[in-house]
């Protein structure tokens, strides 16, 4: 059974999916529809029309807010779209939890590309978003002008996946944002040892939402965990061909120095198979870099200079 989405909607939104003018938030809230009828949300940051847009693809439990710092930095020079996959944020929750899988997310994204008339874009994919990027390239590499793979590759460390399975879909709510931040710190301190309370609060406000009952809760359908569980997970597939489909264009791999998902050995093999791959290790960081680190920003800036 799927969960009931928390109402984080903005009453200012019009029926067209655009936000009504007002404020200085810098983006429009817009929508597209999946082939099975779900209303899916994305943030649309304006930018130059003579460049391919940047599409920021979030991780398993994340949403469009995860890309906010990067999008705000690039907006103006680049159009940035930050879609929310089904079951996250302001997108509809699926009736069938089996549809929470990477192939379905890719199919949903292709509907967005069709709606917006986007034939080519720069993909910035964190974790799950990076898997989506590789799968898109395997199907049609001409869509990808350049790619940033954030702490993900064709081989995922099973120990790290097991850690994620322990907390995804567990739900829970918190009386205050500080309580929520402390809960995140308890879960993810090893990945971000340098974070202070203000950093954990910022993460909480990206990952969670204030519900109608006055409590802070995760902003995703707990049912996304069902296909991800060890019992329900499909057999592993060879993703090396999907990664290698990105060859011939600028590709950046951002790896957390202490990543539990992407081993150094896998990153080295990715570099061996794609000599042009730029590999940047983000120091003092696990899974996954936030894209606010100086090393991440400098590497993304450098990649974008190579996009024609």
Residue 22 lies in a domain: no
Residue 195 lies in a domain: no
Total number of domains constituting the chain: 1
Given a cut of 50, whether residue 12 has pLDDT beyond it is: no
Residue 59 lies in a domain: yes
CA-based radius of gyration for the chain? 18
The answer to whether 56 and 81 are in contact (CB under 8 A) is yes
Residue 202 lies in a domain: no
Residue with tokens 């810098």: 26
Please compute the mean of the pLDDT values over residues 137-157 and round it to a whole number.
97
Please compute the mean of the pLDDT values over residues 33-56 and round it to a whole number.
98
Give CA–CA dist 299/290, Å, rounded. Answer: 13
CATH code, domain carrying 291: 3.40.50.1820
Q: Which residues pair with 57 in a beta bridge?
A: 125
92-101: string of b/e by CB count within 10 Å (b at 16+)? bbbeebebbb
Residue 84 lies in a domain: yes
- The model's pTM is 0.91
Q: What is the band of 6 on the pLDDT scale with cuts at 50, 70, 90?
A: very low
Please compute the mean of the pLDDT values over residues 198-227 and round it to a whole number.
96
| Residue 191 DSSP one-character state | T
Q: What is the band of 22 on the pLDDT scale with cuts at 50, 70, 90?
A: very low
Q: What is the pLDDT of residue 308?
A: 79
Residue 89 lies in a domain: yes
Residue 182 lies in a domain: no
Give CA–CA dist 207/89, Å, rounded. Answer: 9
Q: What is the band of 21 on the pLDDT scale with cuts at 50, 70, 90?
A: very low
- DSSP letters, 231-262, are TTPPPP---HHHHHTTTTS-EEEEEETT-SSS
Q: What is the pLDDT of residue 91?
A: 98
| Residue 70 domain boundaries | 28-168+235-304
Residue 83 lies in a domain: yes
Q: Which residues have a Cβ under 8 Å from the Cβ of 294 and sit 6 or more positions away?
A: none
Q: What is the band of 234 on the pLDDT scale with cuts at 50, 70, 90?
A: low
The answer to whether 53 and 77 are in contact (CB under 8 A) is no
Please compute the mean of the pLDDT values over residues 235-263 and round it to a whole number.
95
Q: What is the pLDDT of residue 17?
A: 35
Please compute the mean of the pLDDT values over residues 238-266 and round it to a whole number.
97
Residues across the chain: 308
Average pLDDT score, the chain:
91
Q: What is the pLDDT of residues 46-99, one digit of tens each?
A: 999 999 999 999 999 999 999 999 999 999 999 999 999 999 999 999 999 999
Give CA–CA dist 245/117, Å, rounded. Answer: 23
Q: What is the pLDDT of residue 235?
A: 59
């Amino acid at each position: 059974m799927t969960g009931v989405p928390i109402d984080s909607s903005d009453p200012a939104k019009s029926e067209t999916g655009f936000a009504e003018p007002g404020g200085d938030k810098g983006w429009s809230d817009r929508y597209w529809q999946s082939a099975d009828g779900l209303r899916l949300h994305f943030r649309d940051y304006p930018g130059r029309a003579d460049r391919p847009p940047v599409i920021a693809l979030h991780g398993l439990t994340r949403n469009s807010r995860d890309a906010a710092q990067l999008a705000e930095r690039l907006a103006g020079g680049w159009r940035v779209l930050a879609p929310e996959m089904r079951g996250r944020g302001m997108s509809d929750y699926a009736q069938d939890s089996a549809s929470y899988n990477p192939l379905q997310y890719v199919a949903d994204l292709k509907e967005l590309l069709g709606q917006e008339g986007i034939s080519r874009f720069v993909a910035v994919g964190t974790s799950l978003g990076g898997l989506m990027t590789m799968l898109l390239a395997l199907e049609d590499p001409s869509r990808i002008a350049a790619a940033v793979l954030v702490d993900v590759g064709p081989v995922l460390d099973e120990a790290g996946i097991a850690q994620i399975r322990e907390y995804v879909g567990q739900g829970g709510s918190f009386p205050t944002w500080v309580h929520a931040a402390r809960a995140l710190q308890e879960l993810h301190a090893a990945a971000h040892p340098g974070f202070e309370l203000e950093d954990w609060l910022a993460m909480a406000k990206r990952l969670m939402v204030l519900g109608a009952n006055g409590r802070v809760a995760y902003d995703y359908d707990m049912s996304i965990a069902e296909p991800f569980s060890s019992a329900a997970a499909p057999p592993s597939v060879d993703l090396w061909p999907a990664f290698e489909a990105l060859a011939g264009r600028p590709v950046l791999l951002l790896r957390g120095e202490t990543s539990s998902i992407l081993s150094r050995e896998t990153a080295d093999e990715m570099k061996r198979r794609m000599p042009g791959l730029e590999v940047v290790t983000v120091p003092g960081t696990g899974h996954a870099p936030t894209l606010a680190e100086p090393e991440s920003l400098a590497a993304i800036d450098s990649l974008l200079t190579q996009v024609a």
